[in-house]
Amino acid sequence: MYAVGKVRMCASEFHLGDQAVTAAAQGGRAEVGGFVLWQKSPEVWFFELIMAGHKMSAGSDGKVAWRQSAADRSHVSRGPPRPLRRSLQGLDPRSIANLFSDAVCIGEKIIGGEECFILKLEAGAATLRARSAAAFDIIHHTVWGYFSQRTGLLIQLEDSHLLRMKSGKGARRSENIFWETSMESVISDYRHIDGINVAHGGHTAVTLFRYGEGSVNHKRKLEETWTVEEADFNVHGLTADYFLPPADLNKDPDAAGHNK
């Protein structure tokens, strides 16, 4: 499949300790860009985003996942390849079904007038270890999917991710720094493409929170609104060569930080 769309991003608020700084005070403004996604299977994909004059890309050949920007070298992402988040935001029903196949139903909730059932999925200990590194540990990663009881479509996607940066050698556990990322995506504008329901719009709110003993807390809120302008399935001639990692790929995942 492939999808082409537009995206609008802005930093809505920034907290440094107890002080709140608005985006306007930082000279911040909304940025508008475009993206393209090519996908051969849930674990084989290529994504490119152009925004504010910068190009960023990421991909997976089914064995190695990577990311790249114009200002930095390519880096391997830790852990086994997994679906692109953009595909899980209503674009690819198969990726969504695969992700939540082992989830647990924990309740019901009404969202936007739709009665939804809630599926919860937590990453296992082995997966968390595979995505951790010498410099950091992934403490937990939990995903919630809110599915319409009427249509079965994904209406909202939530994600909570906690990472602990390790201090120097011999440091106490309490001296570690934590990064917590929370995301909430509201998914809308489903349309039929070849008989498949594909979401053509949505909104995501992201909160980044850093805390830990001996450090000043940082909290940042980001917002993203996207629309899909064109999408299609059964793209002919899309071979594995389209998803090869970059030639300059840094194969030391510990140097790459974490992939969210």
Question: Is the Cβ–Cβ distance between 207 and 198 less than 8 Å?
Answer: no
**pLDDT at position 165, please?**
87
What's the gap between Cα 78 and its chain centre? 14
Tens digits of residue pLDDT in 201-217: 999 999 999 888 766 78
Instruction: pLDDT band for 257, please (50, 70, 90 cuts).
Output: very low
Please choose, from the candidates 78, 70, 66, the residue with its C-alpha nearest in 3D space to the C-alpha of residue 244.
Answer: 66
Domains in the chain: boundaries? 2-256
Tens digits of residue pLDDT in 229-243: 999 998 888 888 889
Instruction: Assign domain 2-256 to a CATH class.
Output: mainly beta
What integer best gives the mean pLDDT of the chain? 85
Tens digits of residue pLDDT in 133-150: 888 899 999 999 999 999
